[in-house]
Amino acid sequence: MSAPAATVPDPAGPVPPLPPGADKAERRARASQSFWTAVVGVPAVFSVLRLGVEAGGELQTTLLLVANVGTVNLLAGFLTTAAQLLSAGLVAVFALGAVLRISVDRMPPGVRRPLFVRWVDTTPAWFAVASFLLALVTWPLLYLPLLVPAFVAAFQLSPERLHEQVVPRALLLGAGFTGYLWLLAPTLLDAWQQRELLAMVLLVVPPVLALFVTGPLPAAVIRPLASVTEAAVLATLVWAALPVISTPVLPLTVTTIESAPGVSEDIRGHVVTVDDVNVVLLQERGGVRYVPVDQVRAQVLCPSEEELPRRQLRIRDFHVEDSLLEGLGRRVRPVHRIDAACRTVDRGPV
Amino acid sequence: MNEVPPRHRLRSVATTLAVALTLTLAAAAGCDNRREPSLPSVLDKLRESHVDGQPRIKIGVATTEPLMGELRNGAHTGFDVEIARYIASSLGFEGDQRIEWVTLSTEDRIPALQAGTVDLVVSSFSITEERKKLVSFAGPYFVTTQEVMVPTRLKDRIRTIEDLREPGYRICTSGGSTTEAELEKHQVKAYVVKDVGDCVEGIRKGRFDAVSSDETILAGFLSRYPTEFEIVDMPFGTSEQLGIGVPIGDPALRDLVAFFLHKSYLEGRNGISSPWLSAYNRTLGPWLKGGRSQPQPLDVPKLVDFDDKAPRR
């Protein structure tokens, strides 16, 4: 049995008078639906939006990209560039949801459960673990310590679970922290010398916070925290999504063409497609160029300026702005020479 | 109402604080992720420099100094030329079609930089305080000493600076060089010609008896006439630091050149073959006594580049 009011939900409105069992099942279904819609829908919408931005807002260029960039490529490209943001959003939802859930569970029944709690209720544990794993391999090393309190909160792993007695528990925690600080000691010294205070705080403080982050929150805090964090996570995702939308889908190249004997030109842009007749280039400064294949003399892959490091800090020779995946990748292919053509800007025929 | 035990209350306050702090740190990390690099990047400097957007880079080199800067069969060769090619390609001018080689005599190097005829001078250009008032230098990329080269017939007779002072010997050097000033300081009267090559030809034709210049330049002529000449090690007491000359009004270009020289220096120091080492081994290496390594460039700016994240070990 279901009341018509329940099929047209008003999330902000009062709880409709429903039998307790049906209400719960209905809510679970709705929460599950909204969660999975967000997880699948957001990347899909983003991927399409990105094409429009990549095309420079031109309808015909967007259509050219749509025609040439396959769905799988688009999704893979999106995951490569947005995995960090996606996992950050999921980790935030799971960590906050779990903290709020344990707090709400101790309150009298009938209290409306916050959105994140409902999401956490409906999400399988493996999905939460997978999100944390994705974050572990895609987040910059500098931000990885934040994953410790988030993980501890998401799975409510209080220090008491290490050992039931205080002394062995303290010893275990002490050993853990000592090892952690030993790993980071050279980096912290460097950060101190470079006056990178935020980096020092981000490396040292989060594991300490992990000791206190479990457990219920005071009743007075729950409602404001739930509303503020829901709004904040949404706002952060939108704010962080803008650069992701404007991140190119296609790799950046510099193509050297020789349009007449002795007259060469560098075109900085993205290769959309290559066929027997033309190389189709989406120029970095805008516009599409169809270059005859026989005029192409050289082509090099170039990094974009967004990839420039902001810090000069390393953790055991891994750059702090690299993710674990990137750091390991650099060990497999350690020498990376920037081709001279990448330094050049678009210029007319020489 | 249930009374909450103080221990539990303390615990929940700690949790609240921990959650709030974690959220604050996460927000700080998010903002930090969007921060611009604090140091200028190579591309920033390139955009500041006057060579940005030029179709070709104009580099002043010598064409009459074997092993250093020579025009052989229409192609520029030599240590200076190799270094110039490395710097040009690092600045985005890869290949000789992107370089306009400008032949400069020793005395024309400063005027050419001042007049904008060239963007860089890589031509055995010694760094001196006097010259620093007129042009900027990046480097040093080589440290050399002043030597004297004599024809084989005089190798036993000209051995010291005193021998050079003897009125019977005609000593030759190139005009506008540091050697000219150094000889004057040691009261050695010298004939001043346009290039060291003119001195060498002069000796071969019997017009001069000895030539004084940087050991790198002399090694070049020795490589051309190995049986006719010999280099005499004389204690002039000064070492010359060769640098790359840059117009004084373009500090960004100077910084870039210094940065790329330093990059090569670091590669060499890490045991990797560096552009400098390759250039040296192909040109001067076989003709200079003792193994050399690249000197550490001075006043190198800290710049951010794409390969900064690469492993160092």
Boundary-marking domain end, from B185, B212, B232: B232
Q: What is the mean pLDDT of each run of 10 residues along chain B (313 residues)?
A: 63 85 87 78 85 85 84 87 90 83 85 89 87 87 86 79 80 78 78 84 86 84 84 77 90 91 85 83 79 84 82 73
Q: B29 to chain A: which residues are within 8 Å by CB?
A: 142-143, 146, 202
CB burial readout A58-68, b (16+ within 10 A) else e = eeebbebbeee
Percent with pLDDT over 90 in chain A:
14
Distance from CA of B92 to the nearest CA of A (A): 4
Domain assignment present for residue B277? The answer is yes
Is B2 an 8 Å CB contact of chain A?
Answer: no
Q: Mind telling me how many Å the CA of A293 is from chain B's nearest CA?
A: 22
How far apart (Å, rounded) are the C-alpha atoms in residues B237 and B288?
Answer: 18
Would you give the distance in Å from CA B301 to the centre of its chain? 15
Which of B4, B13, B25, B35 to substitute to test the interface with A, most A CBs within 10 Å? Answer: B25
CB–CB of B306 and A338 under 8 A? yes
| Residue A145: band (very low, low, confident or very high) from pLDDT cuts 50, 70, 90 | very high
DSSP strand E in A176-307: where? 252-260, 263-274, 278-283, 288-292, 296-301
Question: Measured between CA atoms, how close is B296 to chain A, in angstroms?
Answer: 21
Last residue of a domain, one of B208, B232, B256: B232
Domain identity same for B263 and B126? yes
In a domain, B212, yes or no: yes
Contact A319 B309 (CB under 8 A): yes
Query: Which of A216, A225, A310 minimises the CB distance to B12?
Result: A216
Asked, for residue B134, whether it belongs to a domain, the answer is yes
Rounded to a whole number of angstroms, the distance from the CA of B257 to the nearest CA of chain A is 14
Chain B residue closest to A229 (CA)? B23
Contact with chain A for residue B170, Cβ under 8 A: no
CA atoms of B255 and B241, how far apart (whole Å): 18
CATH number at residue B253: 3.40.190.10
CB contact under 8 A, A212 and B15: yes
Taking the C-alpha atoms of residue B56 and residue A246, their distance in angstroms, rounded to an integer, is 33
Give chain B positions within 8 Å (CB) of A317: 311-313
Q: What is the pLDDT of residue A345?
A: 60
| A-to-B residue pairs, Cβ atoms closer than 8 angstroms | 146
Q: What residues have CB less than 8 Å from A155, skipping those under 6 apart?
A: A98, A128
A-chain residue closest to B26, CA distance: A146
Residue-number span of the structural domain to which B66 is assigned: 42-143+241-290
Q: Which residue of B has its CA nearest to A240?
A: B30
Start-to-end CA distance of chain A, whole Å, equals 78
Tell me the pLDDT tens digit for each residue of A174-209.
Answer: 999 999 999 999 999 999 988 888 899 999 999 998
Nearest one of A239, A278, A236 to A93, comparing CA atoms: A236
Q: Residue B252 and residue B45: Cα distance in Å, rounded?
A: 5
pLDDT value at residue A21: 55
Kindly state whether residues B125 and B270 are assigned to the same domain.
Answer: yes
Determine, yes or no, domain membership for B272: yes
pLDDT exceeds cutoff 50 at A4: no
Of B216, B214, B200, the closest CA to residue B150 belongs to B200
Helix (H) or strand (E) holding B168: none
**Token pair in block for residue A271:** 């290769």
Sheet with A278-283, edge to edge strand ranges: A288-292, A278-283, A263-274, A252-260, A296-301
Residue B251 in any domain: the answer is yes
Distance separating alpha carbons of residues B264 and B86, to the nearest angstrom: 9
Does residue B134 sit in the same domain as residue B249? yes
* H-assigned helices in B116-205: 129-132, 161-165, 178-185, 196-204
Q: Name the residue among A92, A201, A229 with its Cβ closest to that of B25.
A: A201
- The β-bridge partners of B99 are B57
Helix (H, G, I), strand (E, B) or coil at B95: coil
Check CB contact of A212 with chain B, cutoff 8 Å. yes
Q: How many CA atoms lie within 13 A of A336 on its CB side?
A: 20
Q: Could you tell me if B132 and B167 lie in one domain?
A: no
Whether residues B312 and A317 touch (CB distance < 8 A) is answered with yes
Which structure tokens are listed for A343? 């330094």
Question: Is the Cβ pair B312, A143 closer than 8 Å?
Answer: no
How close, in Å, is residue A198 to chain B by CA atoms?
8
Q: Is the confidence metric ipTM above 0.90 for this complex?
A: no
The answer to whether the Cβ–Cβ distance between B92 and A322 falls below 8 Å is no
Which residue, B310, B152, B132, B287, is CA-closest to B215?
B287
The pLDDT confidence band at residue A134, using thresholds 50, 70 and 90, is very high
- Could you check whether the bond before residue B140 is cis, i.e. omega within 30 degrees of 0? yes
B136 and B153 in a single domain? The answer is no
In angstroms, the CA A318 to CA A1 distance is: 59
**Minimum distance, in Å, between the CA of residue B298 and any CA atom of chain A:** 21
Shared domain check, B227 and B266: no
- B100 and B247 co-located in one domain: yes
pLDDT at A136 over 90: yes
Sheet holding B69-72, edge to edge: B64-65, B69-72, B75-77
DSSP string covering A31-89, please? Answer: HHHHHHHHHHHHHHHHHHHHHHHHTTT-HHHHHHHHHHS-HHHHHHHHHHHHHHHHHHH
For residue B35, tell me if it sits in a domain: no
Rounded to whole angstroms, the Cα distance separating A137 from A82 reads 13
Mean pLDDT of chain A: 81
- What's the token pair of residue B162? 């005193």
Same domain membership, residue B157 and residue B135: no
- Domain match, B151 and B214 both: yes
Domain count, chain B: 2
CA B161 to chain centre: 29
Residue B156 near residue B134, CB atoms below 8 Å: no
Domain membership of residue B28 (yes or no) is no
Judged by average pLDDT, the poorest of A111-125, A151-165, B3-17 is B3-17
What type of residue sits at position A75? L
Which among A96, A243, A310 has the least Cβ separation from residue B37?
A310
Cα distance between residue A98 and residue A215, in whole Å: 10
Of A100-114, A230-244, B254-268, where does mean pLDDT reach its minimum? Answer: A100-114
State the helix-helix crossing angle for A219-245 and A71-105, rounded to 10 degrees: 170
Does the CB of B306 have a partner CB in chain A at under 8 Å? yes
Question: Is pLDDT of A86 > 60?
Answer: yes
Query: Measuring CA to CA, which residue among A217, A141, A173, A112 is closest to residue B20?
Result: A217
User: In this predicted structure, what is the pLDDT of residue B197?
Assistant: 84
In this complex, the residue of A96, A201, A307 whose CB is nearest that of residue B306 is: A307
Same domain, B49 and B136: yes
In-domain check, residue B2: no
Q: How far is B85 from chain A (nearest CA, A)?
A: 11
pLDDT of residue A19: 54
Question: Identity (one letter) of the amino acid at B249?
Answer: G
Amino acid residing at A218: P
> Are A340 and B23 within 8 A, CB to CB?
no
Interface contact B306-A205, CB threshold 8 A: no
All residues of chain B having their beta carbon less than 8 Å from the beta carbon of residue A319 are 308-309
Residues B85 and B151 placed together within one structural domain of the fold: no
Looking at residue A199, its amino acid is A
Query: What pLDDT, on a 0 to 100 scale, did the predictor assign at position A20?
Result: 53
Indicate whether B203 and B213 sit together in one domain: yes
Whole-Å CA distances, B253 to A345, A347, B40, B137: 16, 19, 13, 10
Helix A219-245 × helix A115-122 angle, to 10°: 80
Mean pLDDT of A249-256: 84
